[in-house]
Amino acid sequence: MRRRSATNSHPGEDLAFRRGYADANPWCELSPWLAKNFPKLGLTRWEPTAEVHHLWGTRRDCLTNLLCVCRTAHAWCHANPQEGRLLCMWVKCCCKREFCEDEYRAISGKIASGWITYQYPSRAELIPVWEETMAYFGNAAE
């Protein structure tokens, strides 16, 4: 993670927490899935973490809102915001079990189970991700 002055921070940022999260997650959390489903990106299963990505654009640093990603995965998330957010949510909920509904609501202002219901993916590769995330929240996939 790029170093930055503590005086150059923003409200809600906890740089020590973010650094600790990055230290605990040295590998990109999205590259295993992206390498398998989007081989044209040129990722391997184990890409080193280069950046900390916020699931929701706010700079709130909490376990629910952070993912460690490589630069390619980070660029993919920003180029594909709906799919990127869905994939990040799947990782946090179904893979890592690091999701807190109260933190999510405070950050995004949304109820996660309601938000995910309306995020049916346009790419076939993401349909199983959406279905598993729906099941996590107890929603029946239609």
Distance CA 22, CA 89 (A): 18
Distance CA 66, CA 69 (A): 10
Tens-digit pLDDT profile for residues 98-116: 999 999 999 888 999 999 9
Q: N- to C-terminal Cα distance for the chain?
A: 40
pLDDT band at 10 (very low <50, low <70, confident <90, very high): low
Is the pLDDT confidence value at 84 over 80? Answer: yes
> Which residues have CB under 8 Å from 52's CB, separation 6+?
1, 18, 21, 22, 66, 67, 68, 69
pLDDT band at 15 (very low <50, low <70, confident <90, very high): confident
> Which residues have CB under 8 Å from 116's CB, separation 6+?
86, 89, 130, 133, 134, 137, 139
pTM score, whole prediction: 0.86
Tens-digit pLDDT profile for residues 47-56: 999 999 999 8
pLDDT band at 3 (very low <50, low <70, confident <90, very high): low
- Pseudo-torsion of CA 10, 47, 115, 109, nearest 10°? -10
Q: How far is CA 126 from the centre of its chain?
A: 14
Residue 48 tokens, joined: 């080193």
Query: Which residue(s) pair with 51 in the sheet?
Result: 69
